[in-house]
Amino acid sequence: MVKMSRKKVWYLISLSFVAAMVIPLTIQFLPAKTKTHTISLEAKKYGYSPSRIIVNQGDIILFKPGSLDATHGFLLDGHPLEFIMRKGATFLKYTWEDDDGSLQSDWDRVPDVEFTADKAGKFTFRCTQTCGNLHPFMTGELIVRPNNSYYLFISLSIWLVFGLLLYMQSDTGAGFSGFNRINLLEKLPWLAKIFKLRSFQFLVILPNFIIFYLFIISSLRGSPVGNRNITIIFVWILWWFVLKAIIVPIGGRIWCMVCPLPAPAEWLSRRSLTGVRYVEKKFKALHHRFTGLQKDWPKITDNIWLQNILFLSLISFGIILITRPIATAFMFLGILAVSLVMALVYRRRIFCQYLCPVGGFLGTYSMASMTELRAVDLDICKKHREKSCFSGGPDGWACPWKQYLGTMNRNNYCGLCTECIKSCPKDNVAIFIRPFGSDHLLKGYDEMFNVIIMLVVAIAFSITMGGPWAVIKDAANVTESREIVPFFIYLASLWGSALLLFPGIFALVARLANRMAGNRVSNRTMTLRLAYIMVPVGIFAWIAFSLPMLMVNYSYILNVLSDPLGLGWNLFGTAHYPYKPFLPDWIPLIQGLILLAGLYFGISRGYLAIKDIVSNSISRTKAMIFPSIFALLIINILLKLYMG
């Protein structure tokens, strides 16, 4: 590989971009005959048959709808087509403008429904009638060829990889470096004063603590139907999206700061809500004594393997967990009980650091976040004998996460509790704003498997919940379908992909990358460094999955605000707000853009991750070829699911 000048590189990148834009658009000029399709559309829990309908632009579709069980709806994204299917009857919605210019609507009973596919692309049709637990995920797909946008994004993803590799080989050392980090507490002194308040964490946890217990009550006493229960809608649609799309990319583990689940255990262990119980003479290296046995966590399990297994175990029943309020309540109560037991046996936040299923991916994904808590001057840390951030001081508790700021250089195990800001007598702790994807080092295979598991689960959820395949939904929904054998096939596919297939493929990719770079480091080192690619890719994959869930189901948020228990209340007048997805025809385009962003950050940050072990830019570029192709294939799997 010969190093090209930067001018030539940008010329090739620009030229290839034009080609990437133009070539897919030529597909629309291929000749295609229009015709009429007569389709017997059958609806049953929780899918349609056929689930995917493929036609050409301009074709006429004559639907002959019918329901095999409950009442189901049909609403086609991006088109004014909606009808309701009951056993033996179909009702088509029609609209008209009254004398005042207002739109009115009504329903006509019809034997069939005729529709002209006048727009090209992929369009989802959705059930509009609450038909059971998995109602929000009952969908089908209409593919109108030529599906130009899908082919355009395939082309752009290939161009992006090609362009990044070209740019890498011409890198002079500053490529993808971003901006210098900003000391937030220096810029905003009032924020430092807030963080130093002993009551700060208690006050930010308290509202969540109250809401948490209200959610438990709602789960136990409210409607058993997920989209009519505030717990399901707020936790698994609103909170999950905010966590993945905003909190983690920007604030890292800031959710750990405000999470109400371990709070009772910590309050019990400390025997205090806000104050510090400081003892002059250290006990087991700390200036505190805690309630219970005060044991230390075994070193053999000082990793996140348990979190990986617990997360996969929960996700195995994910479609049940996020649609059944009672299941969510038992999960909350189980976490509360286990955290209390752990607090009585072990010191510090052992549950959060080693057992919390969410904590594992919060740690690895927080490596990419734009916020970090660090020591301002490491020399001050070295000279300070007391190490108050680690062992505790009169003004702050010892770090609940066992972190020493003098050596902490990653976000993984910092819960942002701000105790170190309070305990440090040198005011040597700050919160910084930094470029996205600044921590590049995965330290063990436990962390690598965590990012692979998260990526596989994002794909699995996109298939199971976002896809049109009722047979897969039935397999995952074992408590309702009672289909045991398909459920075990579903589990074997999920666990096998997460623990064998994807790790095996990536290990091979990393070996090839190391060989391309000249085998300068061990295969283990190269594998762990390149595995960081999957952190940004995974984050953006989850955003691409979660955002449509919010856009499509936002009306349920308004419904449950007025009727949180599903008991017929209408507190704010929004209980009967109609189901109306927000810009649904834009969803595939938005998902495509999000995935391209993930591909860019994944490859560029992976390149930075090997910068200190492969010094030559040409060798680094060679090392990035196979990992970039791996990331490209992952993104194109998701593009196929979302746009193809």
CA pair distance 184, 58, nearest whole angstrom: 56
Q: How confident is the model at residue 227 (pLDDT cuts 50, 70, 90)?
A: confident
Q: How confident is the model at residue 640 (pLDDT cuts 50, 70, 90)?
A: very high
The pLDDT assigned to 632 comes to 98
Quick one: average pLDDT of 357-370?
A: 95
Residues 6 or more apart whose Cβ sits within 8 Å of residue 473: 46, 47, 134, 137, 319, 464, 465
Phi, psi of 260 (to 5 degrees): -85, -15
Residues 6 or more apart whose Cβ sits within 8 Å of residue 439: 366, 367, 368, 372, 409, 410, 411, 412
CA pair distance 459, 482, nearest whole angstrom: 24
Please report the DSSP string for 165-223 in residue order.
Answer: HHHHHT--S-TT--PPPEEHHHH-HHHHHHHT-TTHHHHHHHHHHHHHHHHHHHHHHS-
Residue 418 lies in a domain: yes
For the domain that residue 74 is a member of, what is the CATH number?
Answer: 2.60.40.420
Tell me the percentage of the chain whose pLDDT exceeds 90.
89
Residues 6 or more apart whose Cβ sits within 8 Å of residue 277: 270, 271, 288, 289
Residue 48 lies in a domain: yes
What is the β-pairing status of strands 72-76 and 47-49? unpaired
The pLDDT assigned to 1 comes to 66
The pLDDT assigned to 201 comes to 94
Dig out the tokens for 479 from the structure. Answer: 């408590």
Q: What's the chain's average pLDDT?
A: 94
Phi, psi of 441 (to 5 degrees): -105, 110
The answer on 555 and 529 residing in a single domain is yes
Q: How confident is the model at residue 567 (pLDDT cuts 50, 70, 90)?
A: confident
Residue 632 lies in a domain: yes
pLDDT > 90? residue 420: yes
Residue 22 lies in a domain: no
CA pair distance 75, 93, nearest whole angstrom: 10
Q: How confident is the model at residue 72 (pLDDT cuts 50, 70, 90)?
A: very high
The pLDDT assigned to 303 comes to 96
Strand partners, 93: 107
Q: How confident is the model at residue 594 (pLDDT cuts 50, 70, 90)?
A: very high
Strand partners, 283: 286
Dig out the tokens for 308 from the structure. Answer: 């990986």
Cis upstream peptide for 564 (omega within 30°) = no
CA pair distance 485, 465, nearest whole angstrom: 20
**Nearest of 420, 434, 429 to residue 371 by alpha carbon:** 434
The pLDDT assigned to 400 comes to 96
Cis upstream peptide for 486 (omega within 30°) = no
pLDDT > 80? residue 605: yes
Q: How confident is the model at residue 533 (pLDDT cuts 50, 70, 90)?
A: very high
∠ CA 457-542-586, rounded to 5°: 125
CA pair distance 447, 411, nearest whole angstrom: 13
Residue 31 lies in a domain: no
pLDDT > 90? residue 203: yes
pLDDT > 90? residue 413: yes
The answer on 366 and 325 residing in a single domain is yes
Which H or E run contains 431?
A: strand 429-433
The answer on 381 and 365 residing in a single domain is yes
Q: What SS3 state is found at 71?
A: coil
Q: What SS3 state is found at 95?
A: strand
Residue 457 lies in a domain: yes
The answer on 532 and 429 residing in a single domain is no
CA pair distance 113, 222, nearest whole angstrom: 38
The answer on 190 and 170 residing in a single domain is no
- Final residue in a domain of this structure, among 94, 129, 145: 145
DSSP label of 597: H
pLDDT > 80? residue 482: yes
The answer on 308 and 393 residing in a single domain is yes
pLDDT > 90? residue 437: yes
Domain count, the chain: 3
Catalogue the long-range contacts made by 200-209 (C-beta closer than 8 Å, 24 or more residues apart). 200/418, 201/257, 201/417, 201/418, 202/273, 202/274, 204/257, 204/258, 205/258, 205/259, 205/260, 205/263, 208/258, 208/259, 208/260, 209/260, 209/263
Residue the block writes with tokens 């109108």? 144
Residue 475 lies in a domain: yes
pLDDT > 80? residue 31: no
Q: How confident is the model at residue 343 (pLDDT cuts 50, 70, 90)?
A: very high
Indicate the range of 32-36, 60-64, 575-579 predicted with least confidence.
32-36
CA pair distance 526, 513, nearest whole angstrom: 8
Q: How confident is the model at residue 617 (pLDDT cuts 50, 70, 90)?
A: confident
DSSP label of 295: B
Sheet holding 429-433, edge to edge: 182-183, 429-433, 371-375
pLDDT > 70? residue 249: yes
pLDDT > 90? residue 416: yes
End-to-end CA distance of the chain: 35
Please state, as a whole number, how many other Cβ atoms lie within 10 Å of the Cβ of residue 513.
26
pLDDT > 80? residue 643: yes
The answer on 509 and 404 residing in a single domain is no
Q: How confident is the model at residue 565 (pLDDT cuts 50, 70, 90)?
A: confident
CA pair distance 621, 617, nearest whole angstrom: 6
Residue 12 lies in a domain: no
Quick one: average pLDDT of 559-566?
A: 91
pLDDT digits (tens, 9 = 90+) for 620-639: 999 999 999 999 999 999 99
Residue the block writes with tokens 């034997």? 111
Residues in the chain: 644
Phi, psi of 503 (to 5 degrees): -60, -40
- Contact, 215 vs 239, CB < 8 A? no
What is the residue range of 536's domain? 148-177+443-643
What is the β-pairing status of strands 121-126 and 139-145? antiparallel
pLDDT > 80? residue 321: yes
The answer on 454 and 355 residing in a single domain is no
Q: How confident is the model at residue 117 (pLDDT cuts 50, 70, 90)?
A: very high
pLDDT > 80? residue 428: yes
- Final residue in a domain of this structure, among 145, 167, 195: 145
Indicate the range of 11-25, 172-186, 294-308 predicted with least confidence.
172-186
pLDDT > 70? residue 282: yes
The answer on 402 and 283 residing in a single domain is yes
| Rounded (10°) CA dihedral 69, 75, 77, 79 | 140
Q: How far is CA 330 from CA 305, 383, 550, in A?
A: 23, 49, 24
The pLDDT assigned to 615 comes to 85
Phi, psi of 401 (to 5 degrees): -105, 10
Quick one: average pLDDT of 533-539?
A: 98
The answer on 346 and 215 residing in a single domain is yes
Sheet holding 89-97, edge to edge: 52-56, 139-145, 121-126, 72-76, 82-86, 89-97, 103-110
What is the β-pairing status of strands 52-56 and 139-145? parallel
The answer on 412 and 458 residing in a single domain is no
Dig out the tokens for 353 from the structure. Answer: 């650091």
pLDDT > 80? residue 502: yes
DSSP label of 459: H
**Nearest of 455, 395, 499, 379 to residue 637 by alpha carbon:** 455
Quick one: average pLDDT of 543-566?
A: 94
What is the β-pairing status of strands 182-183 and 89-97? unpaired
- Final residue in a domain of this structure, among 99, 128, 145: 145
**Nearest of 249, 261, 344 to residue 295 by alpha carbon:** 344
pLDDT > 70? residue 466: yes
CA pair distance 299, 444, nearest whole angstrom: 14
The answer on 626 and 583 residing in a single domain is yes
Quick one: average pLDDT of 259-268?
A: 95
